Structure 1
Amino acid sequence: MSLLLLIVVFTLVGGVLSILAASLLLLLPERQRSVALPHGVSFAIGALLCVAFWGLLPHAVEQAGLEHAHGLFMTVLVGILSFFLLEKLLLWRHCHSHDCEAHTHMEEHLHLHQPAGTLIVLGDAIHNFVDGVLIAAAFLIDPELGIVTSLAVAAHEIPQEVGDFAILLQSGYGRRKAFIYNLMSSLSTVVGGLAGYMSLGEVRGLLPYFLAVAASSFIYIAVADLIPTLHKRTHAKATVEQMVMIVAGVLLIYWVHGFAHRFEGGG
């Protein structure tokens, strides 16, 4: 399979399939959904952190050389601070429920009218486009890395899209319209992947820094957005469940990376 086709397929996995999975979750009764979503968030934390620290950053240092390690880790720091500022501007949101602070702040100022939904779709399109570029950068370094990166994107997109669906419905959109708008914004992941494939190949020397930006994105999402939601459940049983799902996310990425490596080696 050609590299371009791989990028198209796995940006679809990271974008469109997460929308479909979120739609199925919304069909569940409220009680079952309230149980499933926290487990999905815990799983996403493990997947994101494993890809960042076990996949993206080691590959970035390996590609650039140890002499560039300081620059790469400075890129991670600048990336985390930049995502913080973008989130403050509501351009880069990672809400995973309809009642998160960013959504509540938006609701207070836009009174749950359709412009609120339009802003959500716009923010998601920007976010998904950048995800697509970062997935393409990972594939250009190593197809195995691209696969696990796209899976980590999908893992955190599913609970996020559930929250986005909820706020769109509260903003007055029908279910069909909310689905179509979210699907359209998810297609920007594919557009970002194609843009990355066509442009990043010309600047291969910068690819390790794109991997560092991807790592900073995953670390920021996991630490600044997802982990705080887990602290809302503090009893021992919840903590054990959270750790089990986090480890499951780590193990899945580890297994997929190993499977992809053996598959390519066998081919």
Structure 2
Amino acid sequence: MTLAFMEDLNPVVQALLATLFTWGITALGAAGVFLKRELNRRLLDGMLGFASGVMIAASFFSLLKPAIEMSHDMGVPGWLPAVIGFLLGGAFLYLVDRLLPHLHIGMAMNSAEGLKTSWQRSVLLVLAITLHNFPEGLAVGVAFGAAAAGIQEATLAGAVALAVGIGLQNFPEGLAVSAPLRREGISRWKSFFLGQLSGIVEPLAGIIGALAVFMVRPLLPYALAFAAGAMIYVCVEELIPEGHSGGHSDVVTIGVMLGFALMMMLDVALG
């Protein structure tokens, strides 16, 4: 996925290819179930922390910071679109979290969140990770749409850096779905299928994000901040608490620091 190749493509196609890449990394992580049935809980906690660190850094460097800079150019207070979009993103994920039936890793069926349902445990586990992946795909799509719109603060290199960062943190998420399913006695192939399925929402969200900001340019800073708010909500509400529930808070913290540092490096170096 070189910049020269991406530059000649329609922004929606750019977003689609980038999110297909992030989905592919999810599938690669889910394929880990073919190597090992049991996933070390300490390793899982570190992976969840790493994913959180990547998402937190991406939320600021790739989304909120450009949104604030764009707002100044549009003649509105720099903080206004960022605050409104950020809070709307969190509110949207709050509503989805309350309505969409899902189950977090290691939890009993009676701890399932969202509307009550008779769906199988495996489906609820997949939906929990799918809830994480939607704002990630949306963020990638918005970034490519912003770059195509000719916004000085948003670059194609920065959008690619965001896609790479999201892809890296999708690896542990794919494994975090497939490994628990395999441990519960589900076949390797079905565990893999369900694990990669959690990332299928990202290409759809990426297309929606790219189309929205490319067609309605004045909404761009709001869209960037919206994606940031949604990702921060996922980190605080889901990923970090899940990591701490395993009893390895130090590993989670180290994972967050490493993930943040890597995403910051990618954004600054490539963006």
> Given the two structures, how large is their TM-score scaled by the length of structure 2?
0.74
- Residue identity opposite 2:170 in structure 1: E
Change in 2 beyond 3 A, CA 1:78/1:103: farther
How far apart, CA to CA, are the structure 1 residues paired with 2:131 and 2:254? Answer: 32
- Residue identity opposite 1:33 in structure 2: N
Contiguous gaps of at least 5 residues in structure 2: 147-154
Change in 2 beyond 3 A, CA 1:223/1:133: closer
Question: What's the counterpart of residue 151 of structure 2?
Answer: none
**How many Å apart are 1:185 and its aligned residue?**
5.0
Partner residue of 2:56 out of 46, 49, 54 = 49
Change in 2 beyond 3 A, CA 1:214/1:195: closer
- Residue identity opposite 1:35 in structure 2: R
Match status 1:187 vs 2:200: yes
How far apart, CA to CA, are the structure 2 residues paired with 1:226 and 1:125? Answer: 13
Tell me, yes or no, if the aligned pair for 1:25 and 1:33 is still in contact at 8 Å: no
* Deviations 1:17-71 (CA, angstroms, capped at 9, x unpaired): 11211321563352x6323211111111211111112331111111122515223
How far apart, CA to CA, are the structure 1 residues paired with 2:164 and 2:133? Answer: 14
Count, aligned residues? 250
Question: What's the counterpart of residue 44 of structure 2?
Answer: 37
Change in 2 beyond 3 A, CA 1:216/1:200: same
Which is helix-richer, 1 or 2? Answer: 1
Question: What's the counterpart of residue 264 of structure 1?
Answer: none
3-state DSSP of counterpart to 2:40: helix
Match status 1:58 vs 2:65: yes
Partner residue of 1:8 out of 5, 10, 16 = 16
Contiguous gaps of at least 5 residues in structure 1: 262-267
Match status 1:177 vs 2:190: yes
Question: What's the counterpart of residue 265 of structure 1?
Answer: none
How far apart, CA to CA, are the structure 2 residues paired with 1:227 and 1:207? Answer: 29
3-state DSSP of counterpart to 1:67: coil
Change in 2 beyond 3 A, CA 1:199/1:103: farther
Match status 1:137 vs 2:142: yes
Tell me, yes or no, if the aligned pair for 1:16 and 1:187 is still in contact at 8 Å: no
How far apart, CA to CA, are the structure 2 residues paired with 1:125 and 1:220? Answer: 14
How far apart, CA to CA, are the structure 1 residues paired with 2:140 and 2:188? Answer: 29
Question: Matches of residues 226-237 of structure 1 in structure 2 within 5 Å?
Answer: 226-232=239-245
Q: Percent identity?
A: 24
- Residue identity opposite 1:45 in structure 2: S
Partner residue of 2:94 out of 84, 96, 103 = 84
How far apart, CA to CA, are the structure 1 residues paired with 2:164 and 2:221? Answer: 20
**How many Å apart are 1:167 and its aligned residue?**
6.0
How far apart, CA to CA, are the structure 2 residues paired with 1:104 and 1:20? Answer: 29
3-state DSSP of counterpart to 1:186: coil
Partner residue of 1:69 out of 79, 91, 103 = 79
How far apart, CA to CA, are the structure 2 residues paired with 1:184 and 1:210? Answer: 26
Question: Matches of residues 93-172 of structure 1 in structure 2 within 5 Å?
Answer: 95=104, 97=105, 99-100=106-107, 104-105=111-112, 115-118=120-123, 128=133, 131-141=136-146, 142-166=155-179
Tell me, yes or no, if the aligned pair for 1:51 and 1:148 is still in contact at 8 Å: no
How far apart, CA to CA, are the structure 1 residues paired with 2:205 and 2:93? Answer: 18
3-state DSSP of counterpart to 1:225: helix
* Deviations 1:146-175 (CA, angstroms, capped at 9, x unpaired): 234324433443343334335655888533
3-state DSSP of counterpart to 2:200: helix
How far apart, CA to CA, are the structure 2 residues paired with 1:117 and 1:145? Answer: 36
* Deviations 1:206-241 (CA, angstroms, capped at 9, x unpaired): 121111111112211211212223434667xx52x4
